[in-house]
Structure 1
Amino acid sequence: MDGTDALRQLMPSHPGAGDAVDWIAVERSWGTGFPRDYREFIALYGAGAVDDYLCLLLPEPRAPEGVEPAFQGMETETLNALDLWQHKAPAGSGRSGLIAWGVDSSADILCWRVIEGDPDAWPVVVWNQDDGAWLEYRCGFAEFLCRVFRAQFDACPLGSTGLWGNASPRFLHHDEESRLRGRGLDPWTGEPDPFAGMFSD
């Protein structure tokens, strides 16, 4: 069973999830292909969050020169990661590039370390904000998530253990989360949201 199939069993998608992406435009903009398991994830799940903690980013073409990239988008988080990498890259990591694919509520940034060759071989690197250090994992995107959900690393890579060993993680696409909030519900509990409407015009 490959990583995407294992992830699908651990964390089922929901109706209406998934995003269509112009991968030719995205990959031309970034100057590289993207890992197959990530492309499959975006088609099946899309951009959204896991248990209101881990935000998985939608691939987007890079902003033209002189234009600000999308707030909290893939390019913005990649620039944040590269700034941290420049100052605190692990010894022996060379001149690797990074592409961010996730962020969490602990201010961790989850990336691929972009090395020459097959994108499916890119390792995952995590900026752990609590430790102020980069951690590298010799696995791909889907396998990394599965191993977090199964607690299969020596220690939790993230700042919170909420997903660590979580046997039933829940994914919500951003649009579904917005739809539920619009109905006055807390998307993560299904209960009425006591703050619904407080911040609207």
Structure 2
Amino acid sequence: MSQAAEREALRHLVPPPDEAAAPIDWHRMATSWGREFPPDYRHFVDVYGAGSIQGYLVIQQPEYKDAEPASPYGGMLLETRNAEHSWAQENKSPELAHTHPVLITWGVTAGSDLLCWDASRTDPATWPLLVRNRDDNLWRRHDCGMVAFLVRLLRRDFAECPLGDTALWGRPSSLFLREAEQKRLWAQGVNPWEGKR
């Protein structure tokens, strides 16, 4: 499936917000990290922004590596450090044994799964995904991009659910909300994921 087809499939599975996302200085971001970010992630963040799918999978806001983390509770910088620590301590699937990836975390789940790129290749469009499933504390590789991974997860196209919880597994219609919208709804006494007070 082409990247355009993957993006369109994701739009049907997870409609983007109506309002435009805050712009990201991708050139500065690349300078800060010493590498470009994958084009599918850049497009996702430009259209959707950072936020959460069904209150379960958080898509990380890109943060400049040479700055302080935006939050002491999470975010791309802190979650990347968490991933590096986890990588050093936990088991890997056989194809990952004796590998030394450059990890960048783009997503985390409510169940503490970590979704990362192995950013060691020159071309970010070819970065594989490394997913740490919290249930078995095992790292596995998926040779696809971030958007393709989300589409396959939501369509149940993997042999088994790659995450520790099946909250998004085979879910044909999901809600994406940016953090500010989630906070606004909670402040009004509305559960943003159920639409109920």
What TM-score, normalized to structure 1? 0.88
Give the structure 2 partner of residue 49 of structure 1. Answer: 52
Question: Is the 1:19–1:45 Cα contact (8 Å) retained in structure 2?
Answer: no
Can you give the 5+ residue segments of structure 1 that lack an aligned partner in the other structure? 193-201
User: How does 1:1-201 map onto structure 2 within 5 Å?
Assistant: 1-16=4-19, 18-64=21-67, 70-71=71-72, 72-88=74-90, 90=92, 91-92=96-97, 94-192=99-197
**Structure 1 residues 68 and 120 mapped into 2: Cα distance closer, same or farther (>3 Å)?**
closer
Question: Is the 2:63–2:69 Cα contact (8 Å) retained in structure 1?
Answer: no
**Structure 1 residues 122 and 171 mapped into 2: Cα distance closer, same or farther (>3 Å)?**
same
Distance 1:187 1:5 in 2: 25
Distance 2:98 2:54 in 1: 32
Deviations 1:106-134 (A, max 9, x none): 11010011122210111111111110110
Distance 1:113 1:68 in 2: 21
- Displacement, 1:19? 2.8
Deviations 1:65-106 (A, max 9, x none): xx5663201010001101111233634452220100011111
Structure number with greater Rg is 1
- Displacement, 1:18? 2.1
Count of aligned pairs between the two proteins:
190
Distance 2:146 2:76 in 1: 15
**Structure 1 residues 89 and 115 mapped into 2: Cα distance closer, same or farther (>3 Å)?**
farther
Q: CA RMSD in A?
A: 1.6
Distance 1:132 1:56 in 2: 21
Distance 1:4 1:25 in 2: 25
Can you give the 5+ residue segments of structure 2 that lack an aligned partner in the other structure? none
Question: Is the 2:63–2:70 Cα contact (8 Å) retained in structure 1?
Answer: no
Deviations 1:122-147 (A, max 9, x none): 11111111101101101000000000
Identity of aligned residues (%): 39
**Structure 1 residues 172 and 88 mapped into 2: Cα distance closer, same or farther (>3 Å)?**
same
- Displacement, 1:60? 0.8
Question: Is the 1:51–1:188 Cα contact (8 Å) retained in structure 2?
Answer: yes
